[in-house]
Amino acid sequence: MEPYARLLGKVAMGPDGCWIYTGSIQPRSGYGSFGVSKGKSMPAHRAAYQFAVGPIPHGAQLDHECHTRDTTCPGGPCLHRRCVNPDHLAPVTSRENTLRSRTSVASLNAAKTHCTNGHPFTAENIGRGVKAGRTYRECKTCKRARDASRRKAA
């Protein structure tokens, strides 16, 4: 039997047109695992996408758009991670996939409109800082106040 036909044999129709993979599920991640050939397996959603659409662009991750649209899903292992419907999968960069998540620290911070002191994150008031090799957004108003306080203390 062809691999794609075998994969589709392990699919049940779910809500919103999701194709829920009923085969082996990775317990920690909640993603399906599909045996593509003897001794070789891969995430079921990636296999389905490659069978139906073609190669996943180099460096891209597949975003479950059905997960992104479902505001009731808490994140983590949920039915959407088991969805293998190629129409629900979109190749995106790792950063885009992280920012589309509603539970990652990066997406939560990106959604903030004001700093912790209430200053708005506008184009004029956002600077970039680097700490331990990581770039972060910072409020220019707060940075000016911190710098002035340090100069005064010195």
Low-confidence ranges of the chain (pLDDT < 70): 68-77, 102-104, 107
Give the pLDDT confidence of 101-128 residue by residue, as tens digits: 766 677 678 778 899 999 999 989 999 8
Dig out the tokens for 125 from the structure.
Answer: 């008031």
Q: Does 106 lie in the same domain as 78? A: yes
> Within this chain, do residues 77 and 102 fall inside the same structural domain, yes or no?
yes
How many domains does the chain divide into? 2
For residue 92, give its domain range.
3-111
Indicate if 24 and 97 belong to the same structural domain: yes
Q: According to the model, what pLDDT value does residue 75 have?
A: 58
Instruction: Please report the pLDDT score of residue 80 as a whole number.
Output: 82
The residue ranges of DSSP E strands in the chain, in sequence order, are 11-13, 19-21, 33-37, 40-43, 61-64, 89-92, 126-131, 134-139
How far apart (Å, rounded) are the C-alpha atoms in residues 12 and 112?
38
